[in-house]
């Protein structure tokens, strides 16, 4: 089971609204390479993942991704809370406001709703861990694109932290892949 | 020692120190998942956990439960709905 800790993983202090920045950051909430996709990819794959190490890393990183979803949601909320509906519309969030008001929705930066086809789940740990490593790189690149678009240092600090976590996760998944390839791979040779 | 240090922290310092320690614990936890035989990392993990537990107790003593579902006790009236969530409260705090 899970329990909730009423604290963010890192502090988020936003002082001025920026709905245009909120719109692009939305993809890390409910987009293809966002935190929701990451969390449920790992937590779903963990059921048939062999070895305690594999199950532990998927559960632990999946849990951290849920905390990142909370951070991305908090970022978006703080960037839109003092903006008027017209401000949202001017920033390209008119459709979002019409359908969801100021609340969050699992969608990407263009409003495309989330789908479980964003990730796969097999009982082959080598296949899953390769997907997981690629997923971390896709998320890292997305955060770098968001950093290019951010003109708010307080937002960039949070995005840079989240980018760095993708690098760490990639490393841990790589180590898990090495371990699994040596001991448990269904096919010994995977190029 | 950790308990004494916790009592001397301001509310903001206490929260920030807990975030730092929880992150250190999380990061060391992930490392230990793939390096379970690393004694130094395990010592680091346990040291961080001890300090975090002391600060956690102090936070709960001051503000009420930080975690739900039986992890922390509450004073009367039920405090979980009153301690702030980390994101904006659209309706303002409960009376």
Mark which residues 107-166 of A lie under 8 Å from B by CB. Answer: none
In a domain, A9, yes or no: no
In a domain, A86, yes or no: yes
Contact yes or no for A183/A51 (Cβ under 8 A) = yes
In a domain, A98, yes or no: yes
ipTM of the complex model = 0.94
In a domain, A188, yes or no: no
Mark which residues 71-90 of B lie under 8 Å from A by CB. Answer: 71, 83-88, 90
In a domain, A40, yes or no: yes
Is the model more confident about A100 or about B7?
A: A100
* Residue A160 pLDDT exceeds 90: yes
Output the 3-class SS for B18-85: HHHHHHHHHHHHHHHHHCCCCHHHHHHHHHHHHHHHHHHHHHHHHHCCCECCCCCCCCCCCCCCCCCC
Structural domain that includes position A43 = 19-183
* Residue A188 pLDDT exceeds 60: no
* Residue A39 pLDDT exceeds 90: yes
**Summary mean pLDDT of chain A:** 95
The answer to which of A97-101, A123-127, B35-39 has the lowest mean pLDDT is A123-127
* A64-119 residue pLDDT tens: 999 999 999 999 999 999 999 999 999 999 999 999 999 999 999 999 999 999 99
**Number of domains observed in the structure of chain A:** 1
Kindly report whether the global pTM for this prediction surpasses the value 0.90. Answer: yes
The pLDDT of residue A183 is: 82
The pLDDT of residue A189 is: 57
In a domain, A5, yes or no: no
The residue among A7, A54, A161 with the most chain B CBs within 10 A of its CB, best to mutate, is: A7
CATH of the domain at A74: 1.20.1260.10
**Percentage of chain B modeled with pLDDT above 70:** 97
Q: Tell me the pLDDT band of A190, cut-offs 50, 70 and 90.
A: low
* Residue B8 pLDDT exceeds 70: yes
In a domain, A37, yes or no: yes
């Amino acid at each position: 089971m899970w329990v909730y800790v009423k604290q963010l993983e890192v502090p988020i202090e936003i002082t001025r609204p920026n709905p245009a920045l909120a719109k692009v950051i939305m993809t890390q909430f409910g987009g293809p390479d966002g935190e929701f996709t990451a969390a449920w990819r790992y937590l779903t794959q963990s059921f048939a993942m062999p070895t305690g190490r594999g199950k532990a890393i998927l559960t632990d990183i999946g849990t951290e991704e849920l905390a990142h979803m909370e951070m991305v949601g908090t970022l978006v909320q703080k960037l839109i809370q003092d903006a008027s509906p017209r401000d949202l519309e001017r920033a390209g969030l008119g459709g979002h406001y019409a359908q969801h008001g100021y609340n969050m929705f699992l969608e990407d930066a263009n409003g495309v709703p989330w789908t479980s086809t964003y990730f796969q789940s097999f009982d082959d740990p080598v296949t899953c861990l390769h997907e997981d490593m690629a997923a971390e790189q896709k998320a890292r690149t997305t955060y770098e694109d968001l950093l290019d678009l951010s003109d708010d240092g307080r937002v960039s600090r949070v995005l840079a932290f989240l980018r760095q976590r993708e690098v760490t996760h990639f490393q841990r998944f790589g180590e898990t892949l090495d371990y699994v390839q040596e001991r448990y791979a269904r096919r010994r040779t995977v190029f | 020692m950790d308990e004494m240090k916790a009592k001397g922290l301001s509310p903001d310092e206490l929260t920030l120190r807990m975030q730092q320690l929880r992150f250190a614990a999380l990061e060391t936890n992930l490392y230990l998942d793939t390096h379970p035989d690393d004694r130094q990392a395990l010592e680091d993990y346990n040291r961080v956990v001890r300090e975090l537990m002391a600060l956690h107790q102090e936070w709960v003593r001051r503000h009420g439960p930080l975690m739900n579902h039986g992890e922390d006790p509450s004073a009367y009236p039920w405090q979980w709905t009153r301690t702030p969530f980390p994101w904006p409260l659209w309706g303002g705090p409960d009376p």
